[in-house]
Amino acid sequence: YTEASSNPITTFSFYIASNSVPSGKTVTIAFWYHMYGSNMGTLRCYGHQGSTYKATIFSASGQQQASQGSAYIKASGSYSTNSTTTNYVSFYGTTGSAYRSDMIVDSVNMTYV
């Protein structure tokens, strides 16, 4: 969750790590998000294999919901592994130019098949 009331523009990030994923598997990342506000910034999600960037899972800028009470939106994406290592998902959020740019990510799930 970002708290945008303390301008200037703020960027947050966090990483979630999985256990070692075998080579040749497809990693899928799914999560729910809410981005409502007239000054909304940008939310991005990336998949990583070890320290290597693998895929942009999600990127959205500006208001995504019609109201504060609108349902969360589900996002997902995937990438293939080429070695056995720990996989990560990273989120980067940048608030907008004023206090109406709170955003939230919920229920992150990383699986592989």
Place of tokens 């056995």: 84
Q: Which tokens is 26 given?
A: 């497809």
Looking at residues 36-43, what average pLDDT do you find? 92
User: Residue 11 and residue 3: Cα distance in Å, rounded?
Assistant: 10
| DSSP-assigned beta bridge partners for residue 59 | 44
Which pTM value belongs to this model? Answer: 0.88
Q: Which positions ≥6 away from 81 have C-beta within 8 Å?
A: 21, 22, 23, 24, 25, 26, 27, 49, 54, 87, 112
The pLDDT of residue 64: 97
Residue 4 has pLDDT above 80, yes or no: no
- Confidence (pLDDT) at 8: 65
pLDDT bucket at 7, cuts 50 / 70 / 90: low
Sorted by sequence, the CB contacts under 8 Å of residue 110 that are 6+ apart come out as 16, 18, 27, 28, 29, 87, 89
End-to-end Cα separation, the chain, in angstroms: 30
pLDDT tens string 45-92 = 999 988 888 999 999 999 999 999 999 999 999 999 888 888 889 999
- Predicted local confidence at residue 96, as pLDDT: 85
Cα of 94 vs its chain's centroid, Å: 11
